[in-house]
A and B are shown apart, each in its own frame.
Chain A
Amino acid sequence: MAVHYPLVHTATAPLAPPITWGDEISNFIRRKPLGAAGALIISVMLFVALFAPRLAPYDPYTPDYGAQFQRPSAAHWFGTDEFGRDVLSRIMYGARIALFVGFVASFVGCTLGALLGVVSAYAGGKVDLCLERLMDILLAFPLLILALAIASILGPAVQNVVVAISIPIIPRAARVVRASALSVKENRYVEAAGSLGASGRRVVLQHIVPNVMAPYIIIVTAQLGSAILTEAALSYLGLGTAEPTPSWGLMLSGSASAYAEKAPWIALFPGMAISLAVFGFNLFGDSLRDALDPRLRRKG
């Protein structure tokens, strides 16, 4: 015998279509046009850096003494420098150094700082006090001065520049992440996890760390631009990467100013590249902070 199920009428409403990645992206572009512009700039830079050997029209290292100080032309879009090297090719290869140093220094510095910040906030008491004082002391040094002092001892090389730039970033990240970890720590669920017998390690990794990811991401993006700028400044002062490595800051130093009257393009284009890269990261970081920081969300 067939069973007759009663026909049940439930109220139905059309479901909103699931939000796809495409929607998310178009939403971001619409609501944060400046941030989207920043993301575009970063993507282009990353592309150029990754495919520099394919994209660059000339070799960035080989001097061509027959082609010194050539004006920007169809053959050399951004002209050539005092060794006859193609400025555009050097800028393309320079993107590799700038982005590498920027990403690694910012990531290493912020991660170490964030770890210290979380530990400091969770441990509290004497540990917190000591770490806080240490961070205060490190913050008393201007970023560039501290990087300069460290770089001067380590000598000019890419990996030394990364170290010199990441160390001053540590206290800056530690302070931000500690503040946010302190407020997370006050939440009931952290207390609950503790009373259920979770180990300190588990509380920190499972409950506190995921909740301080937003400020962590904000500080990483915020420091990216400044790391790139610091690398350029160090190289400009002769303490960053050494010749013949094509670094944007290095391209502006010495010869660029010396030949500025004769060949202004040598100084013009690398500066534009630095500005554009940092500009892109700052635009993106700014919008990201606006989107992630609840205090800046529009109220009411």
Chain B
Amino acid sequence: MGNYLAKRLLLIIPTLLGVAAVVFVIMRVIPGDVALLILGGDQAGHIDKAQLAAMHHQLGLDQPLLTQFGVWLWGVAHFDFGTSLWTGRPVIEELVGRLPLSLELAILATIVSVLLAIPFGVLAAARRDTWIDYLIRVVSIGGLAIPSFWVGILIILLLVIYFGWGPPLEYTPPWIDPWANFQQMVWPVVTVGYRYAAVTTRMTRSTLLEVLGDDYIRTAWAKGLRERAVVVRHALRNAMLPVITLIGTEFAFFFGGPVVTETVFTLNGVGRFVVDAVAHRDYPVVQALVFLIAFGFVIVNLVIDLTYAWLDPRIRYR
């Protein structure tokens, strides 16, 4: 296990460098001059050349690309992601303030989705091609089809019309006022949770169906085991690994995933931060956030892989 851990940790370095390079390429090499955008938006013709050169210099854009990349990487290694062009504050400071909300949303939505997805996924697989299966599949495909921002709009609409409730502008952490926090978070959690429950339900159903066709399941049936024992004890256990991966991946995506949901509910989380930064053409922030979201994803993936290796010794020796 020690060897495996070391190998995985070493492998993460090239991946992170690659992630940094991709972010850099997207933000710098794709057409469009950041300095022009900052200075004048679309009326590119009216910008003073000296002003443009000064802006280029200020942003370090007059350096060779590789130097720029090096400077940026060096900053990243020191947790220095530059300052926001919009607020003038360091990106990392802005981010830390918004992290608790996104983390809470991610944890609660994951819990909701798992609690819904596993039982319904199992039920759909065990009753394949019956009306129960069809119903669960329709509801879960619906969860994938209905845009979460539309669900959010509808929920807010109903709450405003019937209860005169509007989403609060400030986030109240649970340790300050749990009730206010609950009121604020319950609808976003339902909105995001339903969507991810849908994804997980489908995954549970299809992996379970795969496993249910295996020889040892036939043996289990032939032994005269009850359905519950066959499905839950024999099949579900072996179907869970891909499902666990999916749940972990979803959790990782939540940091940047509910971009639209956070916007609809005016929650000041990481996702909203990305949208605001894009709207304000705040490129240092966009660059830092896209990198950090991918970074978080790589780390969570590593943790999933390690859990895998811990659960299933075969992986360690491959």
A residues whose Cβ falls under 8 Å from a Cβ of B: 33-34, 133-134, 136-138, 140-142, 144-146, 148-150, 152-155, 225, 229, 232-233, 236-239, 249, 252, 256-257, 260-261, 264, 267-268, 271, 274-279, 282-283, 286, 295-296, 298-300
CA distance A284 to B73 in the complex (A): 45
- Chain B interface residue count, CB cutoff 8 Å, equals 55
For the A-B complex, the count of residue pairs with Cβ-Cβ distances under 8 Å equals 153
Nearest chain B CB to A141 CB, angstrom units: 5
Contacts of B30 in A (CB 8 A): 150, 153-154
B279 proximal to A (CB < 8 A): yes
B99 proximal to A (CB < 8 A): no
CB contact between A264 and one of B141, B144, B146, B157 (< 8 Å): that residue = B157
Beta-carbon contact of A237 and B157 below 8 Å: no
- In the complex, besides A134-B18, A237-B279, A267-B157, 18 extra interface pairs with C-beta distance below 8 angstroms are A133-B18, A140-B15, A140-B19, A141-B22, A141-B290, A142-B257, A142-B293, A144-B259, A145-B256, A148-B259, A149-B290, A152-B281, A153-B30, A154-B32, A238-B279, A260-B156, A274-B147, A279-B141
Question: What 0/1 pattern do residues 143 to 174 of B give for CB contact below 8 A with A?
Answer: 01111011001101100110000000000000
Max count, chain A CB within 10 A of own CB: residue among B30, B145, B213: B145
Residue of A nearest to B142 (CB): A279
Interface of A is mostly: helix
Contacts of A134 in B (CB 8 A): 18
Beta-carbon contact of B206 and A141 below 8 Å: no
CB contact between A145 and one of B27, B138, B274 (< 8 Å): that residue = B274
Beta-carbon contact of A261 and B147 below 8 Å: no
Beta-carbon contact of A296 and B147 below 8 Å: no
Nearest chain B CB to A81 CB, angstrom units: 15
Beta-carbon contact of A271 and B150 below 8 Å: yes
Beta-carbon contact of A136 and B260 below 8 Å: no
Max count, chain B CB within 10 A of own CB: residue among A140, A144, A237, A300: A140
Beta-carbon contact of A148 and B278 below 8 Å: yes
Beta-carbon contact of B253 and A142 below 8 Å: yes
Residue of B nearest to A299 (CB): B213
B35 proximal to A (CB < 8 A): no
Name 21 interchain pairs, CB-CB below 8 A, sorted by A: A133-B14, A136-B18, A140-B298, A140-B301, A141-B293, A149-B27, A149-B290, A153-B30, A153-B32, A233-B260, A237-B263, A237-B278, A257-B156, A260-B160, A264-B157, A271-B147, A275-B142, A275-B145, A282-B144, A286-B202, A295-B213
